[in-house]
Structures are given as structure tokens and as C-alpha cells.
């Protein structure tokens, strides 16, 4: 399990977030130590001086007239415990930090309470007389709760991370487009040249990719043209040879049949070359059900009396596929199974909910293939006769794999534990893997 992000986008956002977090913590400590704490000390010092000033003339505290003169002169009121409760000391909040600081300044145990309002009111009980409360109004003082500072710093941090996220996302947008274009080229489709945007480095990479894509497309076009030309030029002499064999006398029928058989094999090989190059890119993508495609292919082979196909189809969702191409995959797998395996074939379909893939498994009951040969069978021009005992161009499985890859699917070959070879084809249910050919 990876805790840290592995993508450049995630790592960049994490780096920005960590730097901002460190900056916020340092700012928080700095503001608290250099601004809030000195303000506490200044207010406490001022209040302590006012308390000492009140107690300079204890006689005036004993008379109502003296207390009134003190209030008119300074705004300070003096109450006993009962009067303090009647004037709202119960709504005030006890502050331990202020009380400890006040005790140090007054030289004895003191208690400080703060009541919010306009103005804020400080209730102070000094060591000079524990039964007297001194109420001091303070104009311009705000709540000592530092939660607004915390909220402010959190908001700044969130906005900064959001801004960094937007910036990095915009920076990585060309990379995502480049990734998708690379996947398209890998499937044999060539998108329009990508727009060169982003940083200078990304622009250079995009420019290089556009040139590479253009070069690969030109090579594909040249290969297709060359293969088509060779195929056309070969079919003409093959046709003449076929016509010439018809002029052979009847006693040389065996020669005529051998030549015609060779011509059919050569035509089949030429068709495989054309199919490998063509890739079925012109076919339209449609919604289809794999079970229906399997049934169609099997039905077309019902006339083959010596072949038996057993179907075991489960309910599966529809997928976006090129129908003719997928039918070609199924038909080629069946042909290989009958030619190299056995006259009996089992086909099973299903749906992998966890991976959201529709799959079908085709199994024959032949001798199977040596394990060390399986991995190379999908390579072009890797002939299966070394493993299955027959001649061929070595393009059959390569064509199948190219079609499956074009659908962002997966095909695997394996020997069945009870004998025979099985081929499993998996196709994703998601429709996002298809891009129109351009």
C-alpha cells in the first residue's frame, strides 16, 4: 500500500501543501509569540496599575459617593460579591493565563474574568481584598480567543492549496492529452497533432510526439500500400497458374489438385497479410453483446458435421466493439482449435464485476502447447507449427491480439489442467477506450 502519491500531480500538490503547512505553523507561532502574547502582557500591566490605583485610597471604596467619583473619573466600578453577581459577573469567563499574570503583577493570588460586549469588561479580584470585585471596561479590546486567527490561517491554507491544485492541474492537462494520444497510437489510431501548450519542456515533448506520430502513420501507410501492391501483384500470376493447370490432361489430375491446393494456401496467407495490416480501423464501433456474437459465429459453423461446439453462456452486459472484428477473433480461435486441437470445443462466457470486464474462454481438448512457447505465439511471424504441428504464416494469433488490443482488451493462452489449450479474451465494459479514427 502506497501512502505517498506516485503521480507528478499528486506529488506536486503534496509538496505545495507541506510547504504551506510549515508556513502556516511558523506564522501561527510568530503571531502568537510576537503579537498576541505581548498584547496580553500590556493589558494585564495596565489593569494591574488600575487596581493598584484603586487601592491607593481605600477610604473611598467604603462609601457610595467615593465609588461614584471613582467611576466618573476612570469608568471603574467597585462591587462586593453580591453586587458583582447582580451586575453580570456570572456571564464572564475565567482566564487562567490572565489570572496567573495578574497574580505575579499584584504580588498575590488574583482572579481575572472577562465578559464580552461593547465594551469588553474585565472583572478583577486582587489580593488586597478578596471580597471586592473591580470592574474595568476596555474599549477596543477584542476576544482573547485565538480561534479567529486559526480559522484565518486555515482559510489561507485551503485557498493556497486549492490555487496550487488548479495550477498543477492546468500544468498537467497537456500531459494527460499526451498520455491519451500515446495510447491511441499504440492501438493503431492516429489523432490530430496535439496543441502545443504548457511549459516550454512540455511544449518540446508535445512537438516531438507529434513528429513521431506523423512518422509512424507514414510508415503504417507505406506498409499498407506495399502489402496491398504485393498482394495484388501475386494474385495475378496465381490466377494464371490456376488457369494453366486446367489445361493439364486428365491423367495428371493429381498434379492439378496439388497446384490448386498450394494456390489456396498462398491466397490464405495473402489474406492474412492484408488483415494484419488493415486492422479493421474503418469498421464502426457499436453496442453489442458478446453472447450474441458467439452464437452467430457458432451458428455459421453448424454445417460442419465433424465439429462440435459446446456453449455455456452466462448473462453479460453489452460492450462497445467492432462486431466484424470480434467475430473474426472468435472464428480464428475456433479455426485454430479445430485445426490444431480437437473436433470438440467448449466456449464459456461471463462477467468479472470487480474488473468490470466481459470475457469468454474457448477450450479445445488437444495436446496443448509447451509452456515456454506460449509467450511468443502472439508475435508476428511466429509459426505455430513448432508447437501444434502445422504450417502457417504465423500471423493468425498476431491478428487476433491486435484486434483485442484495439479494444483495450486482453487475451491469454494457457494449458488446461485437464488437457487441451484454452484462450481467454477479456473486454472492458467502459466505453472510454474508444477514439474515432482520424
306-346: per-residue pLDDT in tens?
788 999 999 999 998 888 889 889 988 998 888 888 889 99
Q: How confident is the model at residue 359 (pLDDT cuts 50, 70, 90)?
A: very high
Is a pLDDT exceeding 60 seen at residue 384? no
3-state helix/strand/coil string of the chain: CCCCCCCHHHHHHHHHHHHHHHHHHHHHHHHHHHHHHHHHHHHHHHHHHHHHHHCCCHHHHCCHHHHHHHHHHHCCEEEEHHHHHHCCHHHCEECHHHHHHHHHHHCCCCEEEEECCCCEEEEEECCCCCCEEEEEEECCCCCCCCHHHHHHHHHHHHHHHHHHHHHHHHHHHHHHHHHHHHHHHHCCCCCCCCCCCCCHHHHHHHHHHHHHHHHHHHHHHHHHHHHHHHHHHHHHHHHHHHHHHCCCCHHHHHHHHHHHHHHHHHHHHHHHHHHHHHCCCCCCCEEECHHHHHHHHHHHCCCCCCCEEEEEECCCCCEEECHHHHHHHHHHHHHHHHHHCCCEEEEEEEEECCCCEEEEEEEECCCCCCHHHHCCCCCCCCCCHHHHCCCCCCCHHHHHHHHHHHCCCEEEEEECCCCCEEEEEEEECCCCCCCCCC
At 316 the pLDDT is 92
Is a pLDDT exceeding 50 seen at residue 367? yes
Region(s) of the chain under CATH 3.30.565.10: 283-428
Is a pLDDT exceeding 70 seen at residue 62? no
pTM: 0.48
Is a pLDDT exceeding 60 seen at residue 170? yes
At 279 the pLDDT is 55
At 390 the pLDDT is 47
3.40.50.1950, 3.30.460.20, 3.20.20.60, 3.30.565.10: which CATH number matches 283-428? Answer: 3.30.565.10
At 294 the pLDDT is 93
At 174 the pLDDT is 82
CATH topology of domain 187-278: Helix Hairpins (1.10.287)
Is a pLDDT exceeding 90 seen at residue 362? yes
Beta strands 308-313 and 344-352 are parallel
Is a pLDDT exceeding 70 seen at residue 35? no
Higher pLDDT among residues 158 and 390, named by residue: 158
At 411 the pLDDT is 92
Residues above pLDDT 70, as percent of the chain: 80
The mean per-residue pLDDT over the stretch 360-380 comes to: 84
Q: How confident is the model at residue 273 (pLDDT cuts 50, 70, 90)?
A: low
Is a pLDDT exceeding 90 seen at residue 128? no
At 388 the pLDDT is 45
Region(s) of the chain under CATH 1.10.287.130: 187-278
Amino acid at each position: 500500500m502506497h501512502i505517498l502519491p506516485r503521480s507528478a500531480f499528486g506529488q506536486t500538490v503534496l509538496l505545495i501543501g507541506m510547504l504551506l503547512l510549515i508556513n502556516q505553523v511558523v506564522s501561527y507561532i510568530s503571531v502568537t509569540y510576537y503579537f498576541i502574547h505581548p498584547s496580553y502582557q500590556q493589558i494585564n500591566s495596565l489593569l494591574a496599575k488600575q487596581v493598584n490605583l484603586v487601592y491607593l485610597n481605600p477610604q473611598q471604596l467604603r462609601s457610595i459617593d467615593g465609588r461614584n467619583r471613582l467611576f466618573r473619573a476612570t469608568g471603574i466600578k467597585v462591587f462586593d460579591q453580591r453586587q458583582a453577581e447582580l451586575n453580570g459577573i456570572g456571564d464572564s469567563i475565567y482566564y487562567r493565563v490572565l489570572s496567573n499574570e495578574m497574580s505575579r503583577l499584584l504580588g498575590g493570588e488574583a482572579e481575572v474574568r472577562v465578559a464580552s460586549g461593547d465594551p469588553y469588561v474585565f472583572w478583577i479580584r486582587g489580593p488586597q481584598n478578596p471580597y471586592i470585585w473591580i470592574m474595568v471596561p476596555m474599549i477596543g479590546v477584542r476576544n482573547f480567543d485565538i480561534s479567529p486567527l486559526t480559522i484565518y490561517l486555515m482559510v489561507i491554507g485551503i485557498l493556497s492549496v486549492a490555487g496550487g491544485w488548479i495550477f498543477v492541474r492546468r500544468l498537467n492537462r497537456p500531459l494527460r492529452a499526451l498520455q491519451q494520444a500515446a495510447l491511441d497510437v499504440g492501438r493503431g489510431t492516429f489523432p490530430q497533432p496535439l496543441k502545443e501548450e504548457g511549459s516550454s519542456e512540455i511544449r518540446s515533448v508535445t512537438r516531438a510526439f507529434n513528429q513521431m506520430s506523423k512518422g509512424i502513420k507514414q510508415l503504417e501507410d507505406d506498409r499498407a500500400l506495399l502489402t496491398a501492391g504485393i498482394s495484388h501483384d501475386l494474385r495475378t500470376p496465381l490466377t494464371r497458374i490456376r488457369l494453366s493447370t486446367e489445361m493439364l490432361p486428365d491423367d495428371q489430375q493429381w498434379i492439378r489438385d496439388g497446384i490448386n491446393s498450394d494456390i489456396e494456401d498462398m491466397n490464405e496467407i495473402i489474406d492474412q497479410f492484408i488483415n494484419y495490416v488493415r486492422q479493421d480501423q474503418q469498421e464502426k464501433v457499436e453496442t453489442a453483446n458478446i453472447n450474441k456474437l458467439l452464437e452467430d459465429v457458432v451458428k455459421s459453423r453448424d454445417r460442419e458435421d465433424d465439429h462440435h461446439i459446446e456453449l455455456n453462456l452466462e448473462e453479460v452486459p453489452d460492450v462497445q466493439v467492432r462486431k466484424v472484428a470480434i467475430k473474426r477473433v472468435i472464428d480464428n480461435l475456433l479455426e485454430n482449435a479445430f485445426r490444431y486441437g480437437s473436433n470438440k470445443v467448449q466456449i464459456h462466457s461471463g462477467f468479472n464485476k470487480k474488473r468490470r470486464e466481459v470475457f469468454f474462454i474457448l477450450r479445445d481438448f488437444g495436446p496443448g502447447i509447451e509452456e515456454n512457447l506460449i509467450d511468443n505465439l502472439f508475435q508476428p511471424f511466429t509459426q505455430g507449427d513448432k508447437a501444434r504441428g502445422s504450417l502457417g504464416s504465423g500471423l493468425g494469433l498476431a491478428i487476433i491480439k491486435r484486434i483485442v488490443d484495439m479494444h483495450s482488451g486482453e487475451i491469454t493462452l494457457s494449458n488446461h489442467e485437464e488437457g487441451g489449450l484454452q484462450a481467454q479474451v477479456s473486454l472492458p465494459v467502459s466505453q472510454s477506450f474508444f477514439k474515432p479514427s482520424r
